[in-house]
Chains A and B, each alone.
Chain A
Amino acid sequence: QSALTQPPSASGSPGQSVTISCTGTSSDVGGYDYVSWYQQHPGKAPKLMIYEVTKRPSGVPDRFSGSKSGNTASLTVSGLQAEDEADYYCSSYTGSNNFDVVFGGGTKLTVL
Chain B
Amino acid sequence: EVQLVESGGGLVQPGRSLRLSCAASGFTFDDYAMHWVRQAPGKGLEWVSGISWNSGNTGYADSVKGRFTISRDNAKNSLYLQMNSLRAEDTALYYCAKDARYTVATIKDWGQGTLVTVSS
Contact assessment for A96 and B59 in the assembled complex, using a CB-CB cutoff below 8 Å? yes
Residues of B in contact with A, size category: 20 to 34
Q: Chain B's nearest CB lies how many Å from the CB of A90?
A: 10
Give the interface segment out of A9-17, A18-26, A69-77, A103-111.
A103-111
Chain B residue nearest in CB terms to A106? B44
Contact assessment for B45 and A99 in the assembled complex, using a CB-CB cutoff below 8 Å? no
- A interface, CB within 8 angstroms of B: 1, 3, 32, 34, 36, 38, 40, 45-48, 51-52, 57, 87, 89, 91-94, 96-106
> Can you list 30 pairs linking A and B with CB atoms under 8 Å apart?
A34-B103, A34-B104, A36-B105, A38-B45, A40-B45, A45-B110, A45-B113, A48-B100, A48-B108, A51-B100, A51-B103, A51-B106, A57-B100, A91-B107, A93-B105, A96-B59, A97-B52, A98-B57, A98-B104, A98-B105, A99-B33, A99-B52, A99-B57, A99-B104, A99-B105, A100-B105, A103-B45, A103-B46, A103-B47, A105-B44
- B interface, CB within 8 angstroms of A: 33, 35, 37, 44-47, 50-52, 57-59, 61-62, 95, 99-100, 103-108, 110-113
